Amino acid sequence: MRDSFVEVLSFQLKRLVPVSFSVLLILVSCIPYHFVFSKYIIADVSLMCVYFWASYRRDLFGIGSAFFLGLITDCLSLSPIGLNVMADMTAFLLTNIFRGYVNTRAFTVSWSGFALVALGAYAFKWLVASFYYSTFLPLPGICLGYVTTLLLYPLIARINIFVQNWLLSGEEAVYEQG
Amino acid sequence: MRRRRVLFIKLSQFRLFLRKCVTAVLFVVALALLILSKADNLLLQKASDMTAAFLSPLIQGMQLPAQILYSGYEKVRDVAFVYSQNKELKQENLQMLMLKNQVRTLEIENALLANLLNYTPPAKASFVTARVVQEEGDGFSHSLMAYIGDTHKVEKGQVVLGAESVVGRVESVSGPYARIILLTDINSRIPVITERTRAQGILAGDNTLSPKLLFTARDADIREGDLILTSGVGGIFPSSLPLGVVRFVNKDQIVIKLLTDVESLEFVKIVSYDAYKTDSEEMKTESKGKL
C-alpha cells in the first residue's frame, strides 16, 4: 500500500529533527550570557549533539549531518572554516566504534564513551588548528573547553533524550552495522 | 530468496563502499575548505559571513525574553534607588559645571598654542554603538557579532572599543551585523608602545584571556603595571588608545592584562577614524573667533 503524502512528509520531517534541534542548541550556545562564570563555560555543543545522535539514532544522523553541524559552528565562529567540520566528522567516526557497546548500557557508560570521543576530537582539532596557525595553541584554554564540554554533556543529553522521546518515540531506531 | 546484485557485487557491499566513499569525499571537502580558508578565499569568507548574518537574527530573537526580564528588573531596581541617585547626580552635576568651565578655558588656550605651532590635530572620530548579539570564545578563536543596524559607517578594520579601552577590530560586515575579532584571538596583531618608556612591540593574541607582547627590543625597559597603548604604526589603529597593562614580565614573555573584560561585553563602540578630516583650518578660525 502506498503511503499518503502526509505520512511521507511527517517521516521526512522527523528525519530532520536531530539536525535541526542540534542547530537550535548551537545557536543557544552562542547567546552572550553575562553572569559571573559564563566566560569559563566554553562547551562544544555540536560535538555533544554529534555524539548523542550518532550513538542513539544513527538511522537519522549520518556523517553528512556531522559535516553540516561543523560547518554551522565554523560559520558562527571565527575559527578556520573546515576545522569544526573535521572535528565533528572525527567524533562521528569515533562514535561509530563505541556505538554498539555504549547505547545499550547505563548513562555513565555512555558518558565515559563521550569522554573518549571528545578527547579524540579535541586532540585532532588541536593538531589541525596548530598546523593551520603554524604554532601550538595554548593547551589550558583547550583543556578547559574539553572539561566544560564533558561536564555539560549530561544536560545536553537530557534535552536530546526529551526531544527523542517527545518527537521520535514512535520511530524505531535502526542500527546498521559498518 | 535471491540476493540483488549490481554487476558482480552484492548490493549491501556496494552500499557500504558508497558510504565509505562519501566519508572520504566529505573529509576531502573539509580539508579543501580549510586550505581555502587559509588562503583567505573571498567567496568562502562571504558565504560564511552571510550564513552568520542569516543565523544571527535567530540568536537575537532568542535573547529577547531574557532581555525583557532583565530590563524589567533594572527598572524596578532603578526606582528603588532613584532618590539617593538623584542626590548624588546633583552633586556630580555641580562638579561637572565647574569642570566644564575649566575645560573651555583650556580648549581656547590649546587652540591658541596649536595655532602658534602650526600643529595638525588628530582625526575626528565618529562612532556607532552596537549591541553584542553573539559571542564565541574557546581555545580555537575569540570573536563577537554585533548588531549595527542599517548604518553604512561600519567597515572592515575599524577600531572597536569597550567600556575602558580597545577590545578588537571589525573583521567583516554582513548586512546589519559586524563580526569583531577580539584582541585575544590568535589572528590579532596590533602595534603598541608602553606609555612610560615608549618601548615598541606587537600585542599578539593567543586564544587565552592574556595576550602577549612580542618583538620588543632586548633592552626595552618594560615593567609590571606599565600601560600599553596603540602606537599607530601601520595606520589601522590611531595612536595612544589604551589597551591594557603589563601583568608580568619574565625571561620568555611579557603578559598583558586587558583593561576591558572582553569576555563579558554587552555593548561595543565601533569607531571610525578613517574619515580623516583634519580640520585645522576650522580650529584656527574657531580660536580666532573666540579671541
- Between A58-67, A165-174, B257-266, the lowest mean confidence (pLDDT) is in A165-174
Q: Which residues, 6+ apart, have CB-to-CB distance to A33 below 8 Å?
A: A41
Q: Which residues, 6+ apart, have CB-to-CB distance to A59 below 8 Å?
A: A171, A173, A174, A175, A176
Q: Which residues, 6+ apart, have CB-to-CB distance to B139 below 8 Å?
A: A42, A126, A137, A138, A139, A140, A141, A142, A143, A144, A145, B207
Chain A contact for B265 (CB, 8 A cutoff): yes
**What letter would DSSP give residue A177?**
-
Interface of B with A in 147-166 (CB under 8 A): none
Count CB-CB contacts under 10 A for residue A24: 16
The ranges of chain B with pLDDT < 50 are: 1, 275-281, 283-284, 288, 290-291
Domains for chain A: give ranges and CATH numbers: 5-167 (1.10.1760)
CB contact under 8 A, B33 and A63: no
Q: How much is the average pLDDT of A115-143?
A: 91
Q: Pick A32's closest partner by Cβ from B38, B134, B171.
A: B134
CB contact under 8 A, B134 and A133: no
Q: What percent of chain A has a predicted confidence (pLDDT) above 90?
A: 47
- Predicted pLDDT at A86: 94
- Predicted pLDDT at B56: 86
Burial class (CB in 10 A: 0-12, 13-18, 19+), B274: middle
Q: How much is the average pLDDT of A28-57?
A: 83
Count CB-CB contacts under 10 A for residue A72: 22
* B217: its cell numbers: 627590543
Chain B contact for A136 (CB, 8 A cutoff): no
**What letter would DSSP give residue B78?**
H
CA-closest candidate to residue A118, choices A72, A74, A54, A60: A54
pLDDT: is A37 or B176 the higher one?
B176
> How close B60 gets to chain A, by Cα (Å)?
8
Q: How much is the average pLDDT of A48-56?
A: 93
* B219: its cell numbers: 633592552
- Predicted pLDDT at B277: 44
Q: What are the pLDDT digits (tens) for B248-267?
A: 898 788 999 998 888 778 88
Q: Which residues, 6+ apart, have CB-to-CB distance to A7 below 8 Å?
A: none
* A133: its cell numbers: 596557525
Interface of A with B in 88-117 (CB under 8 A): 89, 93
For residue A99, is pLDDT > 50? yes
* A168: its cell numbers: 521520535
CA angle A110, A115, A119 (to 5 degrees): 145
Q: d(Cα A29, Cα A121) in Å, to the nearest integer?
A: 19
- Predicted pLDDT at B82: 85
- Predicted pLDDT at A2: 54
Length of chain A: 178
- Predicted pLDDT at A77: 86
Q: How much is the average pLDDT of A119-127?
A: 94
- Predicted pLDDT at A53: 93
Q: What are the pLDDT digits (tens) for B126-141?
A: 788 888 888 877 778 8
CATH superfamily, with its number, for domain B126-272 = Rod shape-determining protein MreC, domain 2 (2.40.10.350)
Interface of A with B in 146-175 (CB under 8 A): none
- Predicted pLDDT at A35: 66
For residue A146, is pLDDT > 60? yes
Q: 3-state DSSP call for residue B267?
A: strand
Mean residue pLDDT across chain A: 85
Q: d(Cα A63, Cα A60) in Å, to the nearest integer?
A: 10
- Predicted pLDDT at A164: 87
* B203: its cell numbers: 600585542
- Predicted pLDDT at A3: 65
Q: Residue A23's pLDDT band (boundaries 50, 70, 90)?
A: very high
Chain B CB contacts of A27 under 8 Å are 55, 58-59, 62
> How close A153 gets to chain B, by Cα (Å)?
17
CA-closest candidate to residue A88, choices A167, A158, A149: A149
Q: d(Cα B138, Cα A100) in Å, to the nearest integer?
A: 32
Chain A contact for B29 (CB, 8 A cutoff): yes
Number of separate helices (H) and strands (E) present in chain B: 4, 14
Q: B198 vs B142, B202, B226, CA distance in Å? A: 28, 13, 10
Q: How much is the average pLDDT of A14-35?
A: 86
Q: Residue A174's pLDDT band (boundaries 50, 70, 90)?
A: very low
